[in-house]
Amino acid sequence: MSKDNKPNAASLGLAIFSVVVLAVSAFILTTPGISNPISVALQRGTYSSSSFDPISPVNTKQFSTVDEFTNFVKSNQGGSYYYSGSGFARSTGVMEESIAMDSMATPTAAPLADGIQKAGESGSSWDYSETNVQVKGVDEADIIKTDGNYIYTITGNTVFIIKAYPGEDAEIVSTIKFDNSPSDLFINGDKLSVFGNFNNAEFFRKIDFRPKYGMTYFNIYDISDRENPTLTKEYKFEGNYFRARMKGDYVYFVSSSMPDYRTDFPTPIIVRGEEKISMPVSDIYYFDIPYTNAHLMTVHAINLANPSDDIDSKAVFVEYNQNLYMSHDNIYITYTEQINEWDIQKKIIMQLMEPYLSDADRTVIEKIKQTDNDVLSQYEKDAKIFEIYQNYANYLTQKEQEAMQDQAEILLKAELAKYDYFEYTVVNKLGYDNGQISVDANGKVPGHIMNQFSMDENDNVFRIATTVSRRWSQFGSETIESQNNVYALDSGLNIIGKLEGLAKGEQIYSTRFMGDRLYMVTFRQVDPFFVIDLSNPRNIQNLGELKIPGFSRYLHPYDDNHIIGIGQDATETGRTTGLKISIFDVTNVVSPKETAKFVTDERYAQSTALYDHHAFLFSKEKELLVIPAYSYTYKGYNGEGSSEGYNGAFVFHITEDEIVLRGLIDHSDNSNYWSPQVERSLYIEELLYTKSPNLLRINNIEDLESVKKIELKTGTTGNIPVY
């Protein structure tokens, strides 16, 4: 087909352009109370044809003007565009193995180096457990806290303050009720902070603002009188609650939102009382990479000891599916970037079809690119432009399409051969110090992470363990197996050391960084337990490994030479057979061994501690391990269905070479067997406290005898009062 004898495809392009022109010319704003509409002058649009490049460095950039910020927002709002086929390209594309870990519950964090924070740090003389956190001295927000005298916990829309010790006298001393159910809380001396997502139509009407992508609240209470907590400060931040950490007196509170173009308050807002304050544009950062699903992560530093309006906040644009790790000096926010094969294939198709375009359609394409971003987003522009190219492809003869397909396949193979990996974890580093936040560095490593257990910082070296997903080729039966890698990065997030190609065909199920070592579990049919030496970050070494059936979802240090693993037992073919707890002896790093294990008789027994480390309670001194446990076993049908199971908390006696189930603290009276009930457990002196949504049980640790039960009644079921 010659350029002078083409199908009338230009008509389609002109039709598209006509719609755009009509949309632009008719775009007017009608102001309430004014009869005549006010015309809005539209700006020249922006367009980028770039895609993620794993070779080029990722540079951190700072917005300097509001116009620069709003142009970025307009270009990136509305989500990504994806197309699965073309007029002549093969419909099957390279498929990526789904990342199983991403479908788990809320991403979890790693525990303390020694497992439990010691008592006496919050003014109490009692021995008590604190929240199981990743980094000692960096507290993590949770639904329950104790200071050794009182327990503070969330159920539904209510925070309960409970006089907890001694157990016989335990009672609820006060409650705080919320219109919007709290997510988490912190305790700092006589200050209680409670926070979560906020939605109140009446309040939004009052302040004449409704955030499109959510708002959070952060309340601070004076609890010097536990029976009468007093609200002393309340903040509201734009975005949904993501994570929170506390070091010293400062909480670092992270919210997440999507780009939202506004003319009145263009940047994210902070609400003080009923006053709306827009973040300074200079406090918002982005990176010189194309975004497909941009999200804005905002970190607020809040002083609990002396709350004030002077809050330092910094925001960074990242992609969807983030994770967070916080060391003593830095906050790391990560996300995964994919090499999108369809984007590459689409560019090749457009390159091959370029000679067929008419001058009229070239003009249409340029005008689409220049259309104001208010009218067409980047993704809509891509769709309309490709539709013009595709229309020409559809009118090719079968012979021409086959020739074009062969040529496209050759070019695609050559382009794909340039890439060693097709997924990367992008790491954003924010420094913090006494409430001051800085955006310091950015880098990337191949593969995706499982959760924040995959990250660690030691002696200014950032360490990260990733899985590169399995891929299938569209050019035959060839597959690229998954593999697992470990990287060390310097303070500027440049890779200085790596160990690649571990456990090919498997993926990481759990990791635990401890000083100069990394303990890592992968799984496909058996459980390879790796011991990796990180003492020289420029020369990472695999010291030894142990292969046993099953896998561990969570690793927790017992001591310097023993690791606790909790997961599932499995047959040699990979079929799971029960909830499993193991002790790994790593004294001989070349030959680690499993010295003790416990496996439930019930094949489908589960524990939320597999995915949420806050549900894991361990004390080496007390030889105590407590985890939520539940099982539902169907026994058969004989005219009536019959079943049995349990729902509560398993209490174990644990040493370096023995794991013995002592009993179950039952919470099934408040539930059925279909879902877990026990959310958390903690101890104060000789007493064990287990919490389900509507019940706090107190038992003696030594003999597990019941001491007291405290019902956590919120007072309502939906809008129905409960008596």
Distance of CA 37 to CAs 27, 28, 30, 34, Å?
10, 7, 5, 7
Q: Please, is 348 exposed, middle or buried when counting C-beta atoms within 10 Å of its C-beta (0-12, 13-18, 19+)?
A: buried
Q: Which tokens hold the place of 699?
A: 């038992």
Q: Which pLDDT value is given to residue 603? A: 84
Torsion of CA 32, 37, 42, 48, to 10 degrees: 50
Q: Which pLDDT value is given to residue 254? A: 96
Distance of CA 592 to CAs 354, 510, 561, 661, Å?
60, 16, 10, 24
What CA–CA distance (Å, rounded) separates 222 from 230? 5
Which residue carries 């006053």 as its tokens?
275
What CA–CA distance (Å, rounded) separates 272 from 235? 6
Distance of CA 513 to CAs 328, 530, 565, 573, Å?
15, 12, 14, 29
Q: Which tokens hold the place of 416?
A: 């794909």
Residue 263 contacts residue 247 (beta carbons within 8 Å): no
Q: What is the mean pLDDT of each run of 10 residues along the chain (723 residues)?
A: 40 36 34 33 58 74 91 74 40 35 36 40 74 95 97 97 96 96 97 96 92 93 97 95 96 93 89 90 88 90 91 91 94 89 83 87 88 77 86 83 87 85 92 95 93 94 94 64 94 96 90 94 77 96 86 92 90 76 93 93 90 96 96 53 75 96 87 73 98 96 96 70 50
Provide φ and ψ at 126, rounded to 5°: -80, 155
Per DSSP bridges, beta strands 323-326 and 312-319 are unpaired
Residue 336 contacts residue 319 (beta carbons within 8 Å): yes
Residue 621 contacts residue 599 (beta carbons within 8 Å): no
Residue 555 contacts residue 512 (beta carbons within 8 Å): yes
Select from 693, 695, 625, 634 the least CA-distant residue to 661. Answer: 625
Residue 179 contacts residue 215 (beta carbons within 8 Å): no
Q: How far is CA 151 from the centre of its chain?
A: 28
Q: Which pLDDT value is given to residue 319? A: 86
Per the confidence metrics, is the pTM higher than 0.85?
no
What CA–CA distance (Å, rounded) separates 541 from 532? 6
Q: Which tokens hold the place of 466?
A: 């990733």
Q: Which pLDDT value is given to residue 103? A: 34
Q: Which tokens hold the place of 378?
A: 């980047």
What CA–CA distance (Å, rounded) separates 382 from 371? 12
Q: Which pLDDT value is given to residue 657? A: 92
Q: What share of the chain is helix, strand, coil (3-state, %, to 5)?
A: 15, 45, 40
Which residue carries 């002396």 as its tokens?
306
Per DSSP bridges, beta strands 240-247 and 284-287 are unpaired
Q: What is the DSSP letter of 477?
A: S
Question: Within 13 A of 306's CA, how many CA atoms are on the CB side?
Answer: 3
Torsion of CA 80, 85, 426, 110, to 10 degrees: 90
Residue 558 contacts residue 585 (beta carbons within 8 Å): no
Buried b / exposed e over 643-656, threshold 16 CB at 10 Å, is eebbbbbbbbebeb
